[in-house]
Structure 1
Amino acid sequence: KMYATVVYEFGSREEMTPEKLRKLGFSESRALKIYDASRKSMGADLSEVDVERIRDFVNVILNLYELRDRLSEYLSQVMREVAPNITELVGPTLGARLLSLAGSLEDLAKMPASTIQVLGAEKALFRALRTGGRPPKHGVLFQYPEIHTAPKWQRGKIARAVATKLAIAAKADYFTGRFIADKLKKDLQERIAEIKELYAKPPAKPMPEKVKGPERPPFKRGRRGRGGR
């Protein structure tokens, strides 16, 4: 977005100065780096017509950024009205995604934590059930910051803890309307800290067992007859 803003404001690199860059919100060191890079650029000179067409295109990009911000603000407002506990626990974007996958707040409130944990990973779950492979540890809950930044061996446990609190939050939003997200969030953070402390190191990998070949029956020497040679 900042790059598009710079292109729209200046158009040509000849119009760029460190002072003007600082007015756009850049720090002094970053403004100097951008200015130096523009002076070392080997790009061809652009005519006024080219600059105007580029500005038209960049204006479309900036309008899309503005539209995204407005939609994000609208989504946050609606989610805080519909599901305040879920929104406070995991944020409006992830909360809305969970509601979309579940079908409604009522359906999400009636789901067990184990189902909420794998929402969005249904294909992987059914493939694991069909083939006997490993089931997924999480679905869209992977977008939760504490999960996707955690080591792999901790993600399943953290996802289970988040899903448990989400199940409680969804029931509170749908059935009672009471706001209990503060306590849920505090308990969740304590549980995540406990998981990170208890499972700080990766589990030891089991030693592969030696594959034994098929056993051969013992060799029996045949008896010779009395008149045999």
Structure 2
Amino acid sequence: MRHGARRGRAVAVAAALLALAAGSAPAAQYEPGKGLVARPQQDFVAPAPGTYRLPPIQHAADGWVLDGDWLPRRLSRYTRGALTLLSFVYTYCTDPIGCPLAFETFVDLRERVRTDPLLKGRVRLVSLSFDPTHDTPAQMQLYGGTYARDRDVPWAFLTTYSVRFLKPILDGFGQDVEVELDADGQPTRTLTHLLKVFLIDERGRVREIYSAAFLQPEVMLNDLRTLALESAARRR
């Protein structure tokens, strides 16, 4: 990772990448919310909240998005005013260390946040579609299910009007995605992308970017707590 206080994570990253390269990551079938996703295993203890810093990396990208009511809103509405975890997904993804892993991690975190006195009422989750052609607002609400309607820990399932509106957001976050081609060079419905989850503070600044190797609830929860403690200290 970027910060010296997190050197202990480097060992975990190397182990996770070696496991994936060796094909040892277990396969899994995916249904949102069913808990069937295989997670890369890590044997390390996350640094205690408040014992390290998360310097700002960049400002969160903005753009026009659609929520379940089809009304256009700025993405900044969903990335400011709360500690936010944002991931890009597409609803028909079946890669167990891709979108399904992000979904299940959010489900896990959501349950922990709702019972955490420091974080309750201060955290938001956002899932934004890579594929606005297929993932309409209605489709994203179906994908989110009951999570899209529960206000305890708000979870926004967003899409855009078209790729034209999506691309500036992807570029702003540095999130690459490609359409996979078949043996004849024709586009398929599979999207190739590097899984990233963005931790955004209350002022709309990206403070951490998680890859699959670091998509561990314990790590992410401590990062959220660290930012919450930082915000509380700033208000004193």
**Does the pair score TM above 0.5?**
no
Higher Cα radius of gyration: 1
Shorter-chain TM band? under 0.3
Structure with more of its chain in helix, by fraction: 1
Higher relative contact order (CA 8 A, sep 6+): 2
